[in-house]
């Protein structure tokens, strides 16, 4: 086996060298001899940048080596490239050099792709000769163009049929409006559709006649080509020979064809691949098959059943020095191997296979055209029946849908009016309750301030009456009074903090009222938008012609009614939440102790010295500020301290009055907010006022469950980030859910809660 492979490689090298000898590499020394030779009329020349001869040029030299002399010029031969005016940028380039009548040269350039068939056709036309293979190829191309035109006409016929169906359906259904108008429009469109149908039928019949004539013509051409193929097959004889011990030697000794290819196989029949290869290479190769049951033949070739399948190529007479094929068992690989093993060009058998495939495609297209014609007739009959039925059902459905739509609109309007009245009534009750709470808080704060002023006056009188006492008693009184004043200061600070808390709660009430008004306004706007959407969907439904959209429109109306009921439940839950907040606020205000610790008001008299019985009152070193006040007041330390404490209490009373004034201002702003709220309820706020309200609400605070920090709506809107879950946002490692629109914009305040 290794010796056989070495011999096979040597033969391949020899065949490659023989092919390269057929292509002359032209240089300046041998160019004149090549072009002046008169042995061959046509001299094809290839200009290339490659260092070796391309395989395509070698195949061409094999196919046309008898009638043409092939040459090759490398890009390094600048003199020859300048002679034929060829630029290095235009490589590769092919020219054909011939002799004219005056003894000169005529150069014919090739313009086309690097394809074997195209270049072969160019060489045949340039050399003035014709070959049967090229004739068959031209006929095949014509067949392909005709089939392409038939496919295009079939596609146009399909499109025309689809347009006819659409027009018929659209003309049957028409537009929905008044009953009489719809009936007239449907009748007019039906008449128009019938006319179009007649024209389309006439067109289909004309096209069918044209296709029938073309099919008859193709059948005649098919019969002609079949006759040609039968004549060629009869001339070539049997393709594959089944070898046995009786005819094996005679087959191998035959010299009709230069090559003999033998397949050793275990199959009972001839493999289709081998049959195809025999048809493709029958002009140059004789094909035989040896089955595994022919043991005598296998022994003569030193083969066993385990070695099968096995392919051998014999050259010349006898069975000496066979070439064993060990490549891919494919048609292209085997064909290429046989072409390389024999001297000669391509054969006509490959064209026959293409012609057979073209004939099968023509038959398939003919059957497809007949099937399409039959289906088109059935579709036209079904379309007419469906159009009549759909027209009747469409009229019934339209009458029912219009009636249900009017009833749905009437119910929605009644529900909207009822909800609006209930919302206004609850908001008015909430406003009255807040006003009453503010009035009670102001009265309690005024009473507390009045009691504190009276107590301060009484204390001042007692201090003035005790000024003439001894310094020790004065200091003791001062210490006792100072402790009492500290307790009063704490009481005043506690009252101030409680007043601030009440002020903050009142602001929360105002915000709750604003939220309620905004919610009512948003509910009204949403209902208006839903009404517009319902009307738009009705118009779209009227324009549509499919009956399935009638059902979807009915479902759409049911969904709208369901959405309205959900809106109603959301508004009621919002009012109930607001009422609960008002009750909680009222209970918190009632629990406040505006008078503080009553024991702090029942102070001991300055004359009481029970705390110092049996002991000595501790001495106190006056500070720098206190010593200066004593020098200014005539050296009385007790008087200066008493007056400073009195001034501090008065300043605390003034701060409480300032807070009261601020509260009045807040009450005024609350009234203005109530007026704005009323405008929002009535739905008359214009765009500018709404924009100002949005900007103001950006500074309002948002209540988030589980968070003690106060944060504004604008800041929260800027800091949150969207997540993959709908209506859920991420903020400071927390996940917040917005139960309104799913977008944190401050069109109106919202209640946010942390996702559990």
Give me the pLDDT at residue 624, please: 42
The Cα–Cα gap between 351 and 287 comes to 20
Give me the pLDDT at residue 686, please: 65
Map out the domains of the chain as residue ranges. 13-129, 240-346, 403-606+643-679, 687-754
Could you tell me what percent of the chain has a pLDDT over 90?
0
Residue 489 structure tokens: 């200061």
Give me the pLDDT at residue 135, please: 56
Which H/E stretch holds residue 43? Answer: strand 43-48
Mean pLDDT, to the nearest integer, of 422-426?
79
The Cα–Cα gap between 746 and 716 comes to 9
Give me the pLDDT at residue 555, please: 47
- Contact partners, residue 293, CB within 8 Å, separation at least 6: none
Provide the CB-side half-sphere exposure for 155 (13 A, CA).
Answer: 6
The Cα–Cα gap between 215 and 6 comes to 57
Which H/E stretch holds residue 756? Answer: none
Closest CA to 109 of 124, 128, 122: 122
Closest CA to 161 of 104, 201, 220, 116: 201
Token pair 């738009």 in the structure block, residue: 536
Mean pLDDT, to the nearest integer, of 13-31?
67
In sequence order, the β-bridge partners of residue 73 are 47
Confidence category of residue 638, pLDDT binned at 50, 70, 90:
very low
Token pair 């009204």 in the structure block, residue: 524
Residue-wise pLDDT tens digits, 425-484? 877 887 788 788 778 878 877 887 788 778 777 877 776 665 555 566 667 777 888 888
The Cα–Cα gap between 207 and 391 comes to 32
Greater model confidence, 44 or 576? 44
DSSP 283: T
Could you tell me what percent of the chain has a pLDDT over 70?
64
Token pair 């689809």 in the structure block, residue: 162
Is residue 98 within 8 A of residue 106, CB to CB? The reply is: yes
Residue-wise pLDDT tens digits, 673-685? 444 444 444 444 5
Same fold across 13-129 and 240-346? yes
The Cα–Cα gap between 741 and 576 comes to 21
The Cα–Cα gap between 693 and 110 comes to 82
Confidence category of residue 747, pLDDT binned at 50, 70, 90:
very low
Greater model confidence, 81 or 105? 81
Greater model confidence, 372 or 14? 372
Token pair 């008859």 in the structure block, residue: 216
Mean pLDDT, to the nearest integer, of 291-298?
83
Residue 123 has pLDDT above 70, yes or no: yes
Mean pLDDT, to the nearest integer, of 277-306?
82
Token pair 């494919």 in the structure block, residue: 330
Confidence category of residue 21, pLDDT binned at 50, 70, 90:
low
CATH of range 13-129; options 3.40.30.10, 3.30.930.10, 3.30.2010.30, 3.40.50.2300:
3.40.30.10
Closest CA to 70 of 108, 51, 97: 97
Give me the pLDDT at residue 238, please: 66
Q: How far are the Cα atoms of 226, 415, 530 from residue 412, in angstroms, in the given order? A: 80, 5, 10
Q: Say how many C-beta atoms besides its own lie within 10 A of residue 15's C-beta.
A: 15
3-class DSSP assignment, residue 752: strand
The Cα–Cα gap between 622 and 619 comes to 10
Residue 36 structure tokens: 């002046």
Phi-psi region of 174 (alpha: psi -120 to 50; beta: other; left: phi over 0): left
DSSP per-residue letters across 195-244: HHHHHHHHHHHHHHHHHHHHHHHHHHHHHHHHHHHHHHHHHH--SEEE--
Least confident of 205-209, 261-265, 306-310, 338-342: 338-342
Mean pLDDT, to the nearest integer, of 528-554?
66
Residue 656 structure tokens: 């409480």
Phi-psi region of 502 (alpha: psi -120 to 50; beta: other; left: phi over 0): alpha
Instruction: Give the β-pairing of 105-109 and 240-242.
Output: unpaired
Residue-wise pLDDT tens digits, 360-408? 577 778 888 888 888 888 888 888 888 888 888 878 887 887 788 788 7
Give me the pLDDT at residue 128, please: 58
Is residue 34 within 8 A of residue 24, CB to CB? The reply is: yes
Confidence category of residue 4, pLDDT binned at 50, 70, 90:
low
Give me the pLDDT at residue 171, please: 66
Closest CA to 485 of 461, 452, 447: 452
In CATH, what class is 240-346? alpha beta
Alpha helices in 73-178 (DSSP H): 78-83, 116-127, 132-173
154-162 contacts at long range (C-beta below 8 A, 24 or more positions apart): 154/365, 154/368, 154/369, 154/372, 157/204, 157/207, 157/372, 158/372, 160/200, 160/203, 160/204, 161/200, 161/204, 161/376, 161/379
Give me the pLDDT at residue 479, please: 80
Question: What counts of helices (H) and strands (E) characterise the chain?
Answer: 18, 16
DSSP 709: S
| SS3 of 720-732 | CEECCCCCEEEEC
Mean pLDDT, to the nearest integer, of 54-79?
83
Residue-wise pLDDT tens digits, 133-180? 555 656 677 777 788 888 888 888 888 888 887 877 776 665 545 667
DSSP per-residue letters across 280-343: HSTTTEEEEEEETT-HHHHHHTT--GGG-SEEEEEESSSSSSPEEP-S--SHHHHHHHHHHHSS
Q: Say how many C-beta atoms besides its own lie within 10 A of residue 67's C-beta.
A: 14
Is residue 596 within 8 A of residue 495, CB to CB? The reply is: yes
Positive or negative torsion for Cα 108, 114, 120, 125: negative
Least confident of 197-201, 515-519, 579-583: 579-583
Residue 309 has pLDDT above 80, yes or no: yes
Give me the pLDDT at residue 136, please: 60
Residue-wise pLDDT tens digits, 42-60? 888 889 888 888 888 888 8
Residue 595 has pLDDT above 50, yes or no: no
Residue 708 has pLDDT above 70, yes or no: no
Give me the pLDDT at residue 634, please: 38
Q: Between 116-127 and 55-63, two packed helices, what is the crossing angle to 10 degrees?
A: 40
Token pair 């018929």 in the structure block, residue: 168
Mean of per-residue pLDDT scores for the chain:
69
Confidence category of residue 493, pLDDT binned at 50, 70, 90:
confident
Confidence category of residue 23, pLDDT binned at 50, 70, 90:
confident
User: Which phi and psi angles does 633 have, rounded to 5°?
Assistant: -95, 10
Exposed, middle or buried: residue 88 (CB in 10 Å: 0-12, 13-18, 19+)? Answer: exposed
In sequence order, the β-bridge partners of residue 44 are 96
Give me the pLDDT at residue 591, please: 57
Residue-wise pLDDT tens digits, 679-703? 444 444 567 777 777 777 777 777 6
Give me the pLDDT at residue 93, please: 86
Mean pLDDT is highest, among 22-36, 541-555, 685-699, for 22-36
Give me the pLDDT at residue 232, please: 42
Greater model confidence, 615 or 17? 17
Greater model confidence, 126 or 659? 126
Give me the pLDDT at residue 654, please: 39
Is residue 753 within 8 A of residue 703, CB to CB? The reply is: no
**How far, in whole angstroms, is CA 358 from its chain's centroid?**
43
Mean pLDDT, to the nearest integer, of 321-340?
74
Model pTM? 0.22
Confidence category of residue 357, pLDDT binned at 50, 70, 90:
low
Give me the pLDDT at residue 120, please: 83
In sequence order, the β-bridge partners of residue 25 are 72
3-class DSSP assignment, residue 58: helix
**How far, in whole angstroms, is CA 741 from its chain's centroid?**
24
Residue 552 has pLDDT above 80, yes or no: no
Cis peptide preceding 484, ω within 30 of 0: no
3-class DSSP assignment, residue 96: strand
The Cα–Cα gap between 47 and 73 comes to 5
Is residue 466 within 8 A of residue 477, CB to CB? The reply is: yes
Is residue 540 within 8 A of residue 400, CB to CB? The reply is: no
DSSP 393: H
As a residue count, the chain comes to 756
Confidence category of residue 649, pLDDT binned at 50, 70, 90:
very low
């Amino acid at each position: 086996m290794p010796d056989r492979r070495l011999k096979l490689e040597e033969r391949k090298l020899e065949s490659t060298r023989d092919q390269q000898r057929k292509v002359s590499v032209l240089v300046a020394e041998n160019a004149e001899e090549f072009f002046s030779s008169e042995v061959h009329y046509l001299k094809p020349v290839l200009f290339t940048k490659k260092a070796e001869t391309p395989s395509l040029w070698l195949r061409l030299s094999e196919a046309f080596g008898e009638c043409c002399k092939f040459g090759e010029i490398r890009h390094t031969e600048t003199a020859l490239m300048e002679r034929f005016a060829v630029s290095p940028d235009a490589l590769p380039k092919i020219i054909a050099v011939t002799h004219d009548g005056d003894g000169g040269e005529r150069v014919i350039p090739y313009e086309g792709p690097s394809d074997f068939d195209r270049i072969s056709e160019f060489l045949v036309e340039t050399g003035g000769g014709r070959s049967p293979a090229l004739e068959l190829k031209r006929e095949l191309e014509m067949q392909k163009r005709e089939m392409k035109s038939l496919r295009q006409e079939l596609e146009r016929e399909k499109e025309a049929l689809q347009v006819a169906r659409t027009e018929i359906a659209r003309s049957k259904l028409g537009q929905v409006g008044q009953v009489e108008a719809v009936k007239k429009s449907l009748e007019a469109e039906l008449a128009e559709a019938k006319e179009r149908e007649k024209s389309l039928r006439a067109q289909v019949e004309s096209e069918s006649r044209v296709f029938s004539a073309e099919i008859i013509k193709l059948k005649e051409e098919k019969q002609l080509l079949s006759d040609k193929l039968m004549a060629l097959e009869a001339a070539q004889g049997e393709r594959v020979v089944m070898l046995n011990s009786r005819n094996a030697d005679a087959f191998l000794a035959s010299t009709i064809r230069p090559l003999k290819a033998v397949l050793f196989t275990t199959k009972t029949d001839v493999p289709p691949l081998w049959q195809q290869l025999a048809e493709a290479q029958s002009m140059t190769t004789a094909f035989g098959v040896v089955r595994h049951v022919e043991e005598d033949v296998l022994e003569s070739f030193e083969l066993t059943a385990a070695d099968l399948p096995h392919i051998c190529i014999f050259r010349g007479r006898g069975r000496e020095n066979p070439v064993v094929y060990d490549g891919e068992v494919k048609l292209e690989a085997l064909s290429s191997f046989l072409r390389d093993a024999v001297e000669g060009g391509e054969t006509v058998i490959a064209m026959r296979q293409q012609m057979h495939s073209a004939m099968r495609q023509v038959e398939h297209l003919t059957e497809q055209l007949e099937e399409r014609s039959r289906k088109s007739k059935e579709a036209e009959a079904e379309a007419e029946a469906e159009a009549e039925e759909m027209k009747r059902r469409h009229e019934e459905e339209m009458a029912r849908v219009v009636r249900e739509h009017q009833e749905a609109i009437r119910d929605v309007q009644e529900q909207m009016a009822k909800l609006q009245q209930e919302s206004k009534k609850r908001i008015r009750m909430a406003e009255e309750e807040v006003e009453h709470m503010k009035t009670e808080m102001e009265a309690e704060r005024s009473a507390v301030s009045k009691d504190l002023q009276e107590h301060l006056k009484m204390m001042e009188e007692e201090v003035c009456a005790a000024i003439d006492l001894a310094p020790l008693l004065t200091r003791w009184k001062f210490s006792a009074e100072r402790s009492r004043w500290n307790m009063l200061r704490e009481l005043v600070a506690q009252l101030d903090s409680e007043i601030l808390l009440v002020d903050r709660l009142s602001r929360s009430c105002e915000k709750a009222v604003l939220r309620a008004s905004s919610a009512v306004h948003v509910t009204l706007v949403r209902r208006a938008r839903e009404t517009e959407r319902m009307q738009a969907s009705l118009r779209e439904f009227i324009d549509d012609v499919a009956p399935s959209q009638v059902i979807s429109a009915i479902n759409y109306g049911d969904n709208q009614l369901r959405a309205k009921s959900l809106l109603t439940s959301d508004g009621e839950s919002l009012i109930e939440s607001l009422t609960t907040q008002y009750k909680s606020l009222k209970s918190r205000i009632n629990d406040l102790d505006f008078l503080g610790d009553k024991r702090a008001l029942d102070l001991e008299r300055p004359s009481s010295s029970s705390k110092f019985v049996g002991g000595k009152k501790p001495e106190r070193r006056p500070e720098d500020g206190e010593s200066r006040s004593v020098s200014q007041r005539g050296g009385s330390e007790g008087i200066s301290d008493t007056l400073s404490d009195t001034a501090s209490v008065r300043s605390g009373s003034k701060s409480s009055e300032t807070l009261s004034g601020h509260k009045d201002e807040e009450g005024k702003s609350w009234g203005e907010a109530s007026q704005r709220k009323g405008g929002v309820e009535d739905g008359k706020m214009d765009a500018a006022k709404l924009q100002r309200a949005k900007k103001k609400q950006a500074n309002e605070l948002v209540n988030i469950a589980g968070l003690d920090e106060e944060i504004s709506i604008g800041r929260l809107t800027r800091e949150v980030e969207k997540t993959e879950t709908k209506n859920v946002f991420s903020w400071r490692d927390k996940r917040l859910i917005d139960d309104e629109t799913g977008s944190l914009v401050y069109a109106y305040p919202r209640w946010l809660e942390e996702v559990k």
